[in-house]
Structure 1
């Protein structure tokens, strides 16, 4: 997966990174054009120079407000433009305590000759981007307006507070959650091992390979977000396998894994099963400790006829080996995330 595809897969989490990558691309393209055309400016200078070209003498604060940058950033850029001989500072006749920025004759002459270059940039950008370019401009307008009306930080912190007060729920499978069963399991398998053929088969069609043969699937949900899953596979009459346990690593430590495990064991007991087993790998130390706390006992060898290449651990559930839930007595009923 290339870097652009990876950032795209992160959705809103990588919005700033994706916009920066696009910004850097556009800056670099404009700089190359300016160099090719012999223009004595850099792309990052453009907003300040263009504003001064249209408004004559003005303060740093006015420029910063107009182009959406900080006072400090514009002041530092103005210093560069002064050193380049394109801008000069002069005292404000109405207020001697502040200075104004104004184009020099060199600066105005440089910008006056750039008309054809700017037209070419505008046309070339649209030729390259096509309708997507117009859509992008419209989306930027809408995004800037939305951020003014609903500040981003306040919105994010409000959502964080809501998640902090949300109850961790364990829910049963429904078709709309199919993609999460695959996503959560594929994430940890690809990180620690690899997706085996049997994984792809079961994860790709849980209705056929888990539910139809008499199994069950559970999900952990927090504030509307699906953060974990596990399956109870029906191996043979009275025999069940705990399998396909996966929790989003960004939500570790909330007790989702143990809650899912408890739900699967409770379903096994409700069905009056006689044997419940699991297969795992010795590398997964944290998971193995959780299984032991829940009542699974390590067996001396791997399970005969195991379907998994990665399995070097075989555990069988024994009710009398079960330990109290590490989150306390109330955890079997509910888990609340605290901020």
Structure 2
């Protein structure tokens, strides 16, 4: 599932998809059993049924929705004849929401359906249902103690204040070379046999033949990597660039590319090339801005099944027209 691959970044989207699934399931059950209710009405109706007349603000606070959302839902419920607005008998200055006789009659007959819903959810989800409820409760408590917006903004401030470093290969970083590239390959293509060999032993396949590997590091986190592979004397391939998608937009790819090009010049290289794929338009534009020129065909004897782009470093060459 695509959203699952985004981890915490798509938490809200995954919860919404799950919520929509349960809403739709409940509505299908209500329709099948001729129940005069909609799933999205339940929180407001049930709260008023259990607690009696309440203001919009009180209902919103009780069910964890915004004042605006409850007010809009109240309008729908009023049109459906389920809720009415009335003066609070105890305080004429307040307007409260109260169930109509129609709503009381409808809710009074829903006991068997609600019992079936609870049992059906337990049957479908088994122990996951209880675990999910416990996790939701824990999340609600945590969000009350530590509001998520403030936490996110504080982390953003910390990320922006942390310098991005480009560092050379060290044995302790070997696992990151595999991780970052495997993450990228599995997301967009697949890990080919040549990838597995190079990523599994970069010292033998890249460093010993005269190449170099660089890493982008943000504080203690290694967020990107790129390699310069010497194919033959003076001929180098820019290869194995991968940036953790969580940290895109910080310029790590550009900095890694610059480091590899600088190393190419430092070693007196004569030819620098790369192979890529036409689907990766953002990366191709970055390569062109750095001085790589698109070649008319794939590289003869290419090692990669996915490669349909061949570029050669020519800093004087004009960028390709879109």
TM-score bracket for the superposition, by shorter chain length: 0.7 to 0.9
Equivalent position of 1:67 in the other structure: 63
Map of 1:84-95 to 2, 5 A cutoff?
A: 84-95=80-91
Map of 1:163-202 to 2, 5 A cutoff?
A: 163-173=159-169, 174-177=173-176, 178-184=178-184, 190=188, 197=192, 200-202=195-197
- After superposition, the C-alpha distances for 1:74-100 in whole angstroms (9 at most, x for unaligned) are 122222222222222221123222222
**Matched residue SS, 1:241:** strand
Q: Which deviates the most, 156-165 or 100-109?
A: 100-109
Decide whether aligned partners of structure 1 residues 303 and 69 sit closer, same or farther in structure 2, where only a CA change above 3 A counts.
Answer: closer
Equivalent position of 2:127 in the other structure: 131
Structure with more relative contact order (C-alpha pairs < 8 Å, separation 6 or more) = 1
Q: CA RMSD in A?
A: 3.3
Distance 1:29 1:118 in 2: 13
Decide whether aligned partners of structure 1 residues 55 and 289 sit closer, same or farther in structure 2, where only a CA change above 3 A counts.
Answer: closer
Distance 2:290 2:241 in 1: 12
**Matched residue SS, 1:312:** strand
- 1:106 to partner: Cα distance: 2.1
Q: How many residues align?
A: 304
- 1:36 to partner: Cα distance: 1.6
**Matched residue SS, 1:170:** strand
Equivalent position of 1:52 in the other structure: 48
**Matched residue SS, 1:171:** strand
Equivalent position of 2:72 in the other structure: 76
* Contiguous gaps of at least 5 residues in structure 2: 279-283, 317-322
Equivalent position of 1:329 in the other structure: none
Map of 1:1-339 to 2, 5 A cutoff?
A: 5-173=1-169, 174-177=173-176, 178-184=178-184, 190=188, 197=192, 200-202=195-197, 204-207=199-202, 209-211=205-207, 213=209, 215-236=211-232, 240-247=236-243, 254-264=250-260, 277-280=272-275, 284-291=284-291, 305-307=301-303, 309-315=307-313
Decide whether aligned partners of structure 1 residues 72 and 282 sit closer, same or farther in structure 2, where only a CA change above 3 A counts.
Answer: closer
Does the 8 Å CA contact 1:57/1:103 hold for their aligned counterparts? yes
Does the 8 Å CA contact 2:194/2:303 hold for their aligned counterparts? no
Distance 1:138 1:155 in 2: 23
Query: What TM-score do you get using the length of structure 2 for normalisation?
Result: 0.80
- After superposition, the C-alpha distances for 1:217-243 in whole angstroms (9 at most, x for unaligned) are 212123445443211224346754332
Decide whether aligned partners of structure 1 residues 265 and 31 sit closer, same or farther in structure 2, where only a CA change above 3 A counts.
Answer: closer
- 1:200 to partner: Cα distance: 3.4
**Matched residue SS, 1:40:** coil
Query: What TM-score do you get using the length of structure 1 for normalisation?
Result: 0.76
* Contiguous gaps of at least 5 residues in structure 1: 322-339
Does the 8 Å CA contact 2:273/2:310 hold for their aligned counterparts? no
- 1:148 to partner: Cα distance: 0.6
